[in-house]
Amino acid sequence: MRIYYPNNFNYLINIESWGGIMASRKEYLQFILEQLSDLEEITYRAMMGEFIIYYRGKIVGGIYDDRLLVKPVKSAISYMRTPSYELPVPKVRKKK
């Protein structure tokens, strides 16, 4: 289990991954939405090839490169045995 925590965001825990660095597939989104189907008010928004997941209108995570990442709030982290933090996207090097 991986947690994504960029320097300037409060983001995200990797719950599930289908691997690879690429834009996320709609099939993976549908798989995750099926897993969350017991929750009411789950919505999503496509954003630059990825998907942001909302619960009751608030961002709770996203799908990046076919990985479900959950926002690392105390309540989410308390369900994890050994979370680790990572970035949702690779770091981009600045031009010199």
List the chain domain ranges: 2-86
Strand order in the sheet with 85-86: 42-47, 50-55, 58-64, 67-70, 13-17, 2-4, 85-86
List the end-to-end C-alpha distance of the chain, in Å, as a whole number.
35
The pLDDT value recorded for residue 34 is: 93
| Residue 33 confidence (pLDDT) | 94
pLDDT of residue 19: 52
The structure tokens 């770091």 sit at 91
Segments of the chain with pLDDT less than 50: 1-12
Closest CA to 68 of 46, 50, 41: 50
Residue 90 DSSP one-character state: P
pLDDT the model gives residue 96 = 63
